[in-house]
A = this chain, B = another copy of it.
């Protein structure tokens, strides 16, 4: 903050505030109330939050907690926040780059600018850079939820097979994740079809699995606020040669990624190592990303991302490949960068496609 001559950071989103305060709650699901954290260049943070959150915020390390009985139409915390910012002094940095947003009504932001007459600008990625390198405690949490998902994937045969609708598989896989210890399953996607799937972001259909389908489930399950994010592919009955070959190729790409993932290498180096194997050339899309408090956060394994890898970064290796026209397979593993070879947080899949 000193380097960028910032007097304060203004944070408004769930994960930035969780990272700095430990304020973990599913209450963010409600859009009604805004939450603010002011981080001064010197001194302690000030939480400016709805009174309903005071008790939970008070259990953490934040001492200066100022509340209002939100929702209050007309002045929903804006004058209280303006006062806190004026005490601390500006200029005020706000996360403004890719992947960020301001979780505050635009009209309230305009009112805040008018009331404070302070200068608001970007935070220069200060918070994202801090979050990018995980502590041992954070890595342990991610490893725990990766293990939970690993145990759930190992039980796939209990819930999936020929004739089972994909929507039932989705529902029951979430149940397995909870049984194995997930606190919550914020994300589950997947697909199924012969030689792969055509889409990985659609809700599950009620179409029953058929012999020869490749079934993929990709989960972002959560424990203690931290995510895993990896997938597994399964063959319903014996796989086609195309699917078997694609899986082998994907695992080769993962191996190349593991080989390249060293401190000093760039995100784009990792992308290239995997893109060279799965093909697609320069038009190949994102082949992984960082993760932690969010399902995806920080660096992207794309050609244009020159972010240097550092020990403590947790990332996904997520190569995808076209199997036949209009169909694909995607594989994903979670790793942590160390001073030497990366450590796998997800249990590395085998070289052959698992048959269910």
Contacts and interface: CB of A to CB of B under 8 A. Distances in A.
Contact of A105 (B27, B97, B178, B283): B97
Nearest to A284: B69
Interface stretch (A49-57, A79-87, A209-217): A49-57
A99 B31 contact: yes
Contact of A31 (B31, B74, B76, B294): B294
Contact of A203 (B25, B289, B294): B25
B203 A300 contact: no
A41 interface: no
> What secondary structure prevails in chain A residues at the interface with B?
loop
A101 B104 contact: yes
A321 interface: no
A118 interface: no
A29 B296 CA distance: 8
Interface size class of A (residues with CB under 8 A): 35 or more
B53 A201 contact: yes
Contact of A171 (B71, B183, B199): B183
A202 B25 contact: yes
Contact of A71 (B167, B178, B199, B302): B302
Interface string A96-111: 1111111111110000
Interface stretch (A184-192, A271-279, A338-346): A184-192
Contacts of A186: 26, 29, 186
A151 interface: no
A203 B71 contact: no
A172 B178 CA distance: 7
Contacts of A29: 186-187, 220, 295
Interface in A279-323: 283, 285-286, 289, 294-297, 300, 302, 304-305
A25 B29 CA distance: 16
Given A30-B296, A122-B106, A185-B185, A201 B71 contact: no
Given A72-B304, A183-B171, A101 B100 contact: no
Interface in A96-151: 96-107, 122
A179 interface: yes
B203 A31 contact: no
B94 A105 contact: no
A18 to B, nearest CB: 11
Interface of A: 24-27, 29-32, 51-53, 55-56, 59, 69, 71-74, 76, 94-107, 122, 167, 170-172, 174-175, 178-179, 181-189, 198-203, 220, 283, 285-286, 289, 294-297, 300, 302, 304-305
